[in-house]
Amino acid sequence: MTTEAMITVFPEIEPYRTGTLAVDALHTLYWEECGNPDGQPVLFLHGGPGAGTSPAHRRFFDPAHYRIVLFDQRGAGKSTPLGEYRNNTTPLLIEDIEKIRVMLGIQQWLVFGGSWGSTLALAYGEAHPERCLGFILRGIFLCTKTEVEWFVNGMQYFYPEVHQQFAEGVPEVERGDLLQAYVKRLFCDDPAIYTEAARNWSRYEGSCLFLKPQAAAIASFESDEVSLGIGRLEAHYMQHGAFMDDDALIRNIGKIRHLPAVIVQGRYDVICPPVSAYRLHQAWPEAAYHVIGDAGHAAMEPGIAAALVRATEDFKIQQRFS
pLDDT value at 118 more than 90: yes
User: Are residues 293 and 166 part of one domain?
Assistant: no
Which pLDDT score, from 0 to 100, does residue 320 have? Answer: 53
14 and 100 assigned to the same domain:
yes
- Taking only the tens place, the pLDDT of each residue in 257-289 is 999 999 999 999 999 999 999 999 999 999 999
Task: Count the Cβ atoms, other than its own, within 10 Å of residue 169.
Answer: 18
Same structural domain, 120 and 23: yes
Our count of domains for the chain comes to 2
Record the pTM. Answer: 0.95
Alpha helices in the chain (DSSP H): 3-8, 90-104, 116-127, 145-153, 160-167, 178-186, 191-206, 215-222, 224-239, 248-251, 274-283, 302-321
Catalytic amino acids? 115, 269, 297
Whole-angstrom distance, CA of residue 286 vs CA of residue 23:
36
| Mean model confidence pLDDT for the chain | 95
Question: Does 3 score more than 90 pLDDT?
Answer: no
Handedness of CA 83, 84, 88, 93 (dihedral sign): negative
CATH of the domain at 103: 3.40.50.1820
Domain with 203 in it: 146-242
pLDDT of residue 213: 82
Residue 5 has pLDDT above 70, yes or no: no
Domain boundary among the residues 208, 242, 276 is at 242
pLDDT value at 35 more than 70: yes
Q: Are residues 256 and 307 in the same domain?
A: yes
Q: Which residues pair with 134 in a beta bridge?
A: 110
- Structure letter (DSSP) for residue 67: E
pLDDT of residue 8: 85
Q: Band of the pLDDT at 217, cuts 50, 70, 90?
A: confident
Mean pLDDT confidence for 78-92: 98
Please indicate, yes or no, whether residues 207 and 105 belong to a single structural domain of this protein.
no
DSSP state of 58: G
